[in-house]
Structure 1
Amino acid sequence: MSISDTALQQRVVKLGKHASARARDSKVYQLPLWPEPTRGIPNPVLRGALFAAVQGKNRAVFQRELLACQKGLQIRFTGIQLDQSDLDVWEQGLHLARLQPLGTRCEFSVYGFLKALGRKTGKSEHEWLKNSFARLMGCGVELTDQLEHKTYGGSLLEFMRDDLSGRYVVIFNPKILTFYDGGWTAIDWQDRQRLRGKPLALWLHGYLASHAKPYPIKIETLRAFSGSSNKQIKGFKRSLFAALNELKKIDFILEFDFDGDNVIINKPPTPSQQRFLFSK
């Protein structure tokens, strides 16, 4: 084989490798297609303190803070603490983005977005939304799967805004699917709207929705997982009692009872959860 033939063969092999790399890069990443009346939220987000049950005025600022969360995962957070209203914004953005490949532009009007959140559309609400997007963009989240020994690190979204037209473009990194690897839950959007302004009830709604049949759980565990700023267990127990009553009012749970350091909650499973329990 001549030198020129060898060079040509090497060139063909190199082009083939480049083509294979482009094929891998062109893979389409897409969120699960949950139905319109729900919002698909990753279970690791629902079972930890990433979006805490706190009032906005009580936000903390963290530097690689280790947040309480379910066993097998580790979440470190840098930035201004996120709350349940930020979760509303994040999941509404994901809801719009689920219809197209991740990494592409998802465009919407600020008016329509606020209406979908059940909020007013005046100047103060526009500013509130700007602040929420800034927190979601500016934070750093390190999600570690301790079994796989792999960590996702990044912010929760990127955005662009046209201040004249009032339109946003939001982009989600395809690696956000890492959050969904631990399973996800379709959250009833109307329920969340009915609980707006009640941070602990909202957090409990998401946490309990992610379990087909909740086991008795320690009050202290719920205090830690929810990111509550209430440092006294007695004070948190009073807040927990009130929040669980809010969930009873909307018929999300049937009953609850306190047994020593534990709380026992009776929640009817969804049809899909019933099938899961039956299969087990």
Structure 2
Amino acid sequence: MKKLNELLARIPEMQARAKQRAEREPLPGKPLPKNVVQLPLWPEPVRAVPNGFLRSALFGAIAKGKRRYIDGEQLAALDGVEIRYTGQRLDQGDLDVWESVLHAVRLQELGSQCRVTSYALLKLMGKTDTGKNRVTLNKRITRLVASALTVKQGRYSYIGSLIAGAAKDEETQEWVIELDAKLRPLYAADQFTQIEWAVRQELDGQQLAQWLHGFYATHAKPFPMKVETLLNLSGGENADPYSGKQKLRKALDAVVEASAAHGEGFSYDIRGDLVHVEKRASGPQRRHLAKKATKPRKPRA
């Protein structure tokens, strides 16, 4: 019994060491020649998404059912991000597929043909290779190909679709997927965020919770935000402010629980109409905060 208690007491330390090893582990593959356009190489336990996509209603927290078709509509987004979108509304499940495609493509030249099976894509998403999941995957890839958007993020802009084109061998279930190489500027330094995939998977099926997890992942030090603003940015279409606040609280509780289960610090408090969030910044975010703190301030006039 004594040994068991000692082992249980050491679990937090063991988890912390395992995470440190994961952060230090060598990246799969290696950078391609300098003249080849390639996405940044991020570690296996994370997925990388442009900040503008996570700070907007592009991949919204939308209810199940018939999707609204958007024709060049400007989506809700934080200051510094502007997105106009044409196509069926996208949700967090569509983001899972796009993240998985990018995860596979990051090891090769951006714009080239990426060959990947339905089985491999579904496995990356944590899904089983069933007929139903293959049909859903096909629908989501079709929707991503049919999308048309104009994104302005910082000094960069992109006009095109989320997936340039795709084809599939129905017998082997092998996909040939192409992404536009002009997406690369959206992955410039400080323009994208690495999402902890284990936490996101823990929130699978909880649209608003997944959106909140991605949104706050882009902030090293979150600032208080109005409940109404968060719901608007998430793409929610609930007109009732009371039920919207209750839904937001439930989703934030889910993020707290999922984050704690995987050693991530996340807490929140709703005071009046403002949501206050505290989280532990990621490695790159901690370096950003340290650099910002040491940067000399200009004297006030």
TM-score tier, shorter chain, comes to 0.7 to 0.9
2:72 to 64, 68, 72: 64
Q: Of the candidates 161, 166, 183, which is equivalent to residue 176 of structure 1?
A: 183
**For residues 75 and 51 of structure 2, what CA distance do their matches in structure 1 show?**
15
Deviation string for 1:112-138 (max 9, x for gaps)?
Answer: 211221112111111100100010000
Give the unaligned 5+ runs of structure 1.
Answer: 1-25
- Give the Å deviation of 1:58: 4.8
1:278: Cα distance to partner?
2.0
User: One-letter code of the match for 2:159?
Assistant: G
1: CA distance between counterparts of 2:185 and 2:243? 36
**Counterpart Cα distance in 1 of 2:135 and 2:91:** 17
Equivalences for residues 72-91 of structure 1 within 5 A: 72-91=80-99
Percent of aligned pairs with the same residue?
Answer: 39
> Could you say which residue in structure 1 is the equivalent of 2:160?
154
| CA gap 1:65/1:36 in 2 versus in 1, 3 angstroms | same
Instruction: Report the AA paired with residue 169 of structure 1.
Output: V
1:12-91 map, 5 Å: 27-91=35-99
Q: Matched residues in 2 for 1:90 and 1:208: separation? A: 19
The 2-side partners of 1:40 and 1:116 are apart by 14
User: Which of 187, 191, 199 is the equivalent residue of 1:191?
Assistant: 199
Output the amino acid matched with 2:84: R
* Aligned equivalents of 1:116, 1:27: Cα separation in 2: 29
Secondary structure of the 1:164 match is: coil
CA distance in 2, matches of 1:266, 1:151: 31
Change (3 A) 1:144 1:255: closer
Larger radius of gyration: 1
Q: Size of the alignment, in residue pairs?
A: 253
Q: Secondary structure at the match of 1:92?
A: helix
Unaligned runs of 5+ in 2: 1-33, 293-301
- The CA deviation at 1:79 is 0.5
Check the 8 A contact 1:187/1:206 in 2, yes or no: yes
Evaluate the alpha carbon distance shift between residue 70 and residue 180 of structure 1 in structure 2; reply closer, same or farther with a 3 A threshold.
farther
- Aligned equivalent of 1:18: none
Partner residue in 1 for 2:215 = 207
What amino acid does structure 1 have at the position aligned with 2:235? G
Give, as a single letter, the amino acid of the residue that structure 2 aligns with 1:60.
R
- Give me the TM-score of the superposition, normalised by structure 1: 0.86
The aligned residue for residue 225 of structure 2 is 217
Q: Give 1:263's aligned residue.
A: 275
Instruction: Deviation per CA, 1:14-47: give whole Å up to 9, x if none.
Output: xxxxxxxxxxxx9421111011111111101110
> Matched residue of 2:237: which SS?
coil
Tell me the SS of whatever aligns to 1:132.
helix
Q: Please give the alpha-carbon distance, in whole angstroms, between the structure 1 residues aligned to 2:140 and 2:170.
A: 16
Counterpart selection for 2:130 from 119, 122, 131? 122
Corresponding residue for 1:101?
A: 109
Equivalents in 2 of 1:177, 1:55: separation in Å? 31
Deviation per residue, 1:60-97 (Å, 9 max, x gap): 11000110112122101101100000000001000110
Please, which of 228, 237, 260 is the counterpart of residue 229 of structure 1? 237
Q: SS where residue 223 of structure 2 aligns?
A: coil
- Post-superposition offset of 1:279: 2.1
CA 186–220 in structure 1, closer or farther in 2 if over 3 Å, else same:
same
CA distance in 1, matches of 2:87, 2:166: 17
